[in-house]
A and B are shown apart, each in its own frame.
Chain A
Amino acid sequence: METVVLEHLASEADTAETVAAIPLAEIDVARPSLFQKDTVGLFFARLRREDPVHYCSESRFGPYWSVTKFNDIMAVDTNHKVFSSEAKLGGIAVDDMHRDQSNLELEMFIAMDPPKHDAQRKAVTPAIAPSNLLLLEPVIRERAAAILDALPVDEEIDWVQRVSVELTTMTLATLFDFPWEERAKLSRWSDVTTAIPGAGIVGSYEQRRKELIECAMYFKGRWEQRIDRPEGNDLITMMANSPATRDMPFFEFLGNLLLLIVGGNDTTRNSISGGVLALNRYPDQYRKLREDPSLIGSMVPEIIRWQTPLSHMRRTAIEDVELGGKLIRKGEKVIMWYLSGNRDETVIDRAEDFVIDRPNPRHHLSFGFGIHRCMGNRLAELQLRIVWEEIQKRFSFVEVVGEPERLLSNLVRGITRLPVKLHAR
């Protein structure tokens, strides 16, 4: 934990010049501080130009490959027979799962290969199938409207806490049929799951373990109430009654639960914040939106691209394989930097810019591709669409009035504070 803090204090702000002067072999884009300072883009731009499939031989996460261009990322993501997600090989993030005794050995289908992955994913997919989303939409809209109606205008508020966290927690509570008055537990468990001990959310792996076991016990209780009662569209009822998931071992139960909580929480939360930031950085786009609210449809996937709520996903090569002219050896760690691929000018026109009326706005990497593609992608879009429709009905301008603060994480691209002032229509 101390290394995190020291590294953060020691590093000065990077510029294009200082980044250009670093020997290529020393570039380590997995340093969490680069994401907190939001300077990692300078490093990615250089790698895409000079060394798109880049080997970093030493880092606090061990040696790893960085894949930085759109099409190379696509090639890795769609080749699950060579690039494994298996937790026991390290899983899906640069920071290995199952790394030491103090870490929980969580089992979740995002970190499994077929056939086990397929059976478990199929069991929970119906909860967020488009037909089920249609049933959820009026509830989500009503609750979103209530959250926005309660906001004060013409004074500084933190958009992250007052809106983004509230809205996503509310949706999660709806999906899990979770007691409304206890919904803050959900966002706490989401934060704890992805937290690096010592970076502000939990103090130690031990504390993290303790809180997550509490989460599991809480849900175990609700699960037992629902077992053999298959009516209900919520995720717990579905998992408790599907043959593929009803007899899961404890850590598999906890893992899949946390996967659904994190998957639907951090990611959408940061897209809701990122959208406000993007519209403020590109006022011409905000103007376009005000003039033509029908652009919300194409703006939503553009927000998800521009923000890229998960900076990376990781795979492990299970045989020697060539990628972009480099030989990746069996057992090596391969990081797909979605954040970099989404800025690849050779595939996306004006990739750095936020443009709300792109012709193919969904051609981005934020949801991944292949069998692990985000199963909540339509729900994420639905939530963002509702939020922006309701915002536009009420406010002429959500004005950013201070610098955003960002999460110390190379995985969740998080905005932790965003001061805004609301202007009524």
Chain B
Amino acid sequence: MIHHRVKPTDRNMIEDLLRPVLHTTWRFYLAVAILGGIVLTGLSTWMYQAYNGLVVTGDNWPVYWGFHETNFVFWIGISHAGTLISAILRICNATWRRPVTRCAEAITAFALMIGGIFPLIHLGRPWLAWWLLPYPSERGIWPNYRSPLAWDFFAINTYLIGSLLFLALPMIPDFAMIRDRSTGLRHKIYGLLSKGWYGTPKQWHRLEAAMHIMALAIIPVAVSVHTIVSFDFSMAVVPMWHSTIFGPYFVAGAIFSGIAALIIAMAILRKILHLEKYLEPIHFQNLGKLLFTMSMLWGYFVFNERLTTWYGNGTAEMPVFQATQSGRYAPLFWLMVFCNFVMPFPFLAIRRMRTITGTVIASCGVVVGMWLERFLIVVPSLSYKAMPYSWGHYMPRWPEVVIMSSSFAALVLLYLLFTKFVPIISLWELRVGEHSELKAAESVQAAEAAGELV
């Protein structure tokens, strides 16, 4: 890999990466105002829906699930960007990961928060959602542990807590760095956040050990979360939901859409925060390769699912199959195949096209395609259940569309606020990386860098 780059000095690096945290422009406030406005619109639409009931949505008999459930699965999928990818890269000791991990972990935390709200939004009586908690009820009623929705509740909460820890742990040394470079209220707040970090060898050792444990623990949790989300569908005897392939199919799709979201987020951060020196073409190259692998894997799963359904020729399955291949939902299905497989293929397979622009174009396609995939899993099966007399269709209405749009604005807003309070690139990890690179070259600066490190 030939790439000539001007290595930023340690001082420059700290300045570059702390700039967004320590200095705020009017553009930031404008963006927060606009995004906050959209999010508030979404929240008030939810209140409107809660007050009037689901009559304002497009849900109907027999398609009782629509956009809200699609968004739920979509966002939980996006959340697999981070923790899983960065945990795997950490365990594999892939050094190029260093500038990418925190961007990815932040997506996970925020996408999970947003995804986790959709099951509440879709409820007929959302104010009773706490009945899913196994609280000691005087009536002796517990949640039904046989229900995949109860599994969801626990899986998503476990993953959310785990990924927040995984995100928060490596922020401690960076908080300490901000603490040491700030005064007044900011100094106090970051002093609290850095939890008495002074970079002693013992502290470093403990942090490394904790990170390793979390990285190992979070992988099975992440895999199980989307498997359990897939169980919401595959446990029901509904044509083309009731499939044994759904667990891995959902996890693959989740990682796929997660990487795409990560690439888009990184490209935007690079432009807006001027991180060209840190988020380099090599990172997009490598993530592009990962995206390509997942695209192939996803294509394999879709082909597999479709082939076995067609070959099995079940009476209940075939109407759903036909509706998605050549019927009512076929345009969406083929658009999905185009967005997820055909269009990204050249951008990701050909090295010269696997540029930042190329991977971003491919990723935009994948995000759209994966949303369509979730929609095509939820809706057509319910439209064409086993009794032909009760077939029906679904069209979203404005509250669902507004709530969905505001969920995208919510992710951007949370991300924006995050970059304001935390360096989006893990400073100390980057410095450790630079340090070991230099050490390997046995350059004179190595000693200096090492001297400055702790």
Q: Are A and B associated in one complex? A: no
B residues contacting A by CB (< 8 A) are none
List residues of A whose CB falls within 8 A of some B CB: none
